[in-house]
Structure 1
Amino acid sequence: MGLNLPASLSYEKRGRIAIITMNRPEAMNSLTKEMLIGLEAAFEDYNNDPELRCAIFTASGDRAFCTGLDLKVALPALNEGDALGYEDPAKRPFQNVYKPIITAVNGVCVAGGLEFLLGTDIRIAAEHAKFGLAEVRWAVVPAGGSHVRLPQQIPWAIAMEMLLTGSTIDAQRAYDIGLINKVVPAERLLDEALAYAERICENGPLAVRTAKEIAIRALNNEPAFVLEKTMSARVFASEDAREGPRAFAAKCKPEYIGH
């Protein structure tokens, strides 16, 4: 394939289906800068490969799909202005991927994990999966598109509850509010995702790609993403944003001062 992916990612081409897997279960599949750059490269390859018609995005292990950025490593970098591979303020995960992406959520899906989910199309979750955006608990914000995409995809009041409290919801609740398509036993997760992918692959590939592209482009989210990026920068540069990850690492209650 010519891709130089880190060991924490795997990319399999199974006929017309791409399977892209995060493989860092010992760290709850938390994201490093290398993983973010690798994921972008893998999905770009999928998007440009004429033989591939559908992708499945999942993770290894049975505890977590993804718990977002590795706070102890990534947040200090964000405090210093590192974009962690996302230099364009109008760009968010999968924004320019016009082929279908099915997410198979094998466990906890929070923070950046949920932000990736929000950029995908069909979402299947294991029964024990949980979903949330806990960033405000650590004095930062989910600046990977959540403020824009989440209120577009679920009712406003529930989106704001998740954004403002940092609380999580279980798989059944996620299904009830329309965040995911289906809840299945963990052992059936990949089979169910493959069944959806095969169904999509039977359809006209140009029609499928065009349907998704129209839906994404019609949202015109780029100006909102720039606003999110600009406003979130002041949060990441704050003293509270330094205190949050310090308290997280020390497993103690943070002392916030509001700036």
Structure 2
Amino acid sequence: MSESVSFEIKGQVGWITLTRPKAMNALNREMLEAMTARLHAWENDNQVRVVVLTATGTAFCAGADLKAGGTPLPGEKDLLDTIVTFFDTLRVFPKPVIAAVNGLALAGGLETVLCCDLVIAAQSARFGDAHSNFGVFPGGGGAAVLPRKIPENIAKYMLFTGDALPAQDMKTYGLVCEVVADAELLERVQALGDKLAQKSPLVLRKMKKVADEAGDKSRADALRQELLELRNHQRSYDMAEGVRAFAEKRKPDFKGY
């Protein structure tokens, strides 16, 4: 376990909280390995249907802890390898992932947000790539993924200038779903997580898969994949349960298969 990140399950929502406020929650190897391991554990934990990533202090995450990079022994992974493994695990996690952005999300912090499905931001939160400020090149999606999430010219502005933009602007550009008062962030995200946890885990998992892959397909191919998923889904318990519950005017009891 890492002293720099904590894990908690509230209802059916798994919370990952970065707890290095004095270091602006910069990511070190210990944190990254702990979070990657916990995501793998929660992937097959039926109690956890939604995951939230947030932090303590005034920063969500200032990126990689460059001071902790070090020089690995031959054959060992370096800090970049560890970060990429974490990002890859978070990006393809089969359950909904919500970023509860409490403050500054810079460089690798912004790239962490880009790996999440939904972004709820506190009013005081700000988002920036920041790599250009230090002559560092992004490696977790800053240049590759940001232009897919927001307008290309805004992405380039953020990349080139290194400036951090306020949460409300990022909502306008489409990265942030909601902006809430700082004091209401955790409560709002828990409520959203609780809402998603009541849906069919199977439906959400398949929706996420199709939506994530649609951008790399033609519209015809994406529609074909969606139809194939529907054909398979028609054989599921959750669809049968949902239809029964609708007919019986009751709340469905989804199982995830």
Question: Shorter-chain-normalised TM-score: which range?
Answer: 0.7 to 0.9
Contact map agreement 2:84 2:140 (CA 8 A) in 1? no
1: CA distance between counterparts of 2:25 and 2:10? 23
| Alignment partner, residue 126 of structure 1 | 122
Partner of 1:254: none
How far does residue 71 in structure 1 lie from its aligned partner after superposition?
2.4
Is 1:12 the counterpart of 2:8 in the alignment?
A: yes
Q: What does residue 162 of structure 2 align with?
A: 166
SS where residue 91 of structure 2 aligns? coil
Q: Which residue of 2 aligns with 1:26?
A: 22
Q: Within 2, Cα distance between the matches of 1:6 and 1:130?
A: 26
Task: Report the counterpart of residue 229 of structure 1 in structure 2.
Answer: none
Q: Which residue of the partner structure matches residue 179 of structure 1?
A: 175
Alignment of 1:1-259 (within 5 A): 5-61=1-57, 63-74=58-69, 77=71, 82-86=78-82, 92=88, 94-220=90-216
Unaligned runs of 5+ in 1: 222-259
User: Offset at 1:58?
Assistant: 0.5
Residues 28 and 54 of structure 1: CA distance in aligned 2, closer, same or farther (over 3 Å): same
- Is the Cα–Cα contact under 8 Å of residues 114 and 131 in structure 1 kept in the other structure? yes
Q: 1:120: Cα distance to partner? A: 0.4
Change in CA separation of 1:10 and 1:27 when aligned onto 2, cut-off 3 Å: same
Displacement of 1:105 in angstroms is 0.7
CA distance in structure 2 between the aligned counterparts of 1:22 and 1:54, rounded to whole angstroms = 17
* Structure 1 residues 70-126: Cα deviation after superposition (integer angstroms, max 9, x where no partner): 12223x659x9825443878x635122010011111111111111010010111111
Q: Deviations over 1:154-198 (max 9, x none)?
A: 000001111111111011111111110111111100011011111
Amino acid at match of 2:105: C
SS of aligned partner of 1:146:
coil
Higher relative contact order (CA 8 A, sep 6+): 1
Instruction: Structure 2: give runs of 5+ residues left out of the alignment.
Output: 218-257
How many pairs were matched up?
214
Percent identical among aligned pairs is 38
Equivalents in 1 of 2:83, 2:189: separation in Å? 32
The alignment partner of 2:120 has SS state of strand
SS at match of 1:125: strand
